[in-house]
Amino acid sequence: MWRTVTRPASGVLVRVLNARLAQGALILASALGVVCDARVHGKGETTADAYSAARTRMVREQLQAPGRSICDAAVLDAMATVPRDEFVPEAERPHAYEDRPLPIGFGQTISQPFIVASMTEQIAPEKTARVLEIGTGSGYQAAILAKLVADVYSIEIIEPLAQWAEATLRRLGFDNVHVRAGDGYAGWPEAAPFDAIIVTCAPDHVPQPLVDQLKEGGRMIIPVGERGKQSLVRLEKRNGRVMQTAILSVRFVPMTGTAEQRHNQRH
């Protein structure tokens, strides 16, 4: 946008014009920064303070609102503690605590806070639990789980996302999260069985390998269905059988890899 003047009409004139252009660029950059910053924090607040306040509002206004209340105190505490702003691209940080999904690149999104909290609550996490997550994304759901359970095993099919998530989780000290790049349809057999499984991408059927890797008495929460018409489903394994309950209608990115191949073969 801002171009340095190089035409040698006059050395003094050139220097003056260059200085004014440079000053204008700095003013514009500063103004854009202020506008972006103002979306998150007010006068006198640091960015960290502003994000902390935004998390508190998120919990109060989105997770404890009438008709969509999250009741588990430990889940609410994790949502109020884990910095969602660290798990989105820098350009999306001003929107980090809004009640909506956000793009994280590669055609993927980070789920809206209520969905993350609801899915976490549905598996009834316990301190000693080992949880499998399919669809690491940016690592936010894994970080929430890491606050609540002993170990999280997370699989992401898009390798650059897996690398970004792992680096973010390590930087923030979530050392009980184990990330693998690969096809989540097959689960993580060598680490099975799991007390709970969370799937954050939607196949059109429940993958049998995941059912097999669910411990007796364990719970799985998974979106199932075609694009644009999916149900969030909770499965509970009792006496070797799986009991299924539909929770709510949702819209997740489709599960790719083996799930997509099987879908295409049937259609």
> How much is the average pLDDT of 8-34?
36
111 catalytic, yes or no? yes
The structural domains of the chain, ordered by start, are 47-266 (3.40.50.150)
Q: Cis peptide leading into 223, omega within 30 of 0?
A: no
Q: What is the pLDDT of residue 226?
A: 86
Q: Please, what is the average pLDDT of the chain?
A: 86
pLDDT digits (tens, 9 = 90+) for 166-198: 999 999 999 999 999 999 999 999 999 999 999
What is the Cα–Cα distance from 126 to 115, expressed in whole angstroms? Answer: 19
Q: Which residue has the higher pLDDT, 6 or 95?
A: 95
- Would you say 155 and 184 are in contact if contact means Cβ atoms under 8 Å apart? yes
Catalytic one among 111, 118, 138, 154?
A: 111
The answer to pTM > 0.95 is: no
Q: What is the mean pLDDT of residues 67-92?
A: 96
Report residue 121's pLDDT band, with 50, 70 and 90 as the boundaries.
Answer: very high
> How does residue 8 score in pLDDT terms, banded at 50, 70 and 90?
very low
| Residue range 113-120: mean pLDDT, rounded | 97
Residue 155 CA to residue 136 CA, distance in Å, equals 6
149 sits in the region (left: phi over 0; alpha: psi -120 to 50; else beta) called beta
Whether 23 shows a pLDDT value over 80: the answer reads no
Average pLDDT value for residue range 200-211: 96
The answer to whether residues 232 and 114 touch, using CB atoms and an 8 Å cutoff, is no
How far from the centroid of its chain's Cα atoms is residue 222's Cα? 15
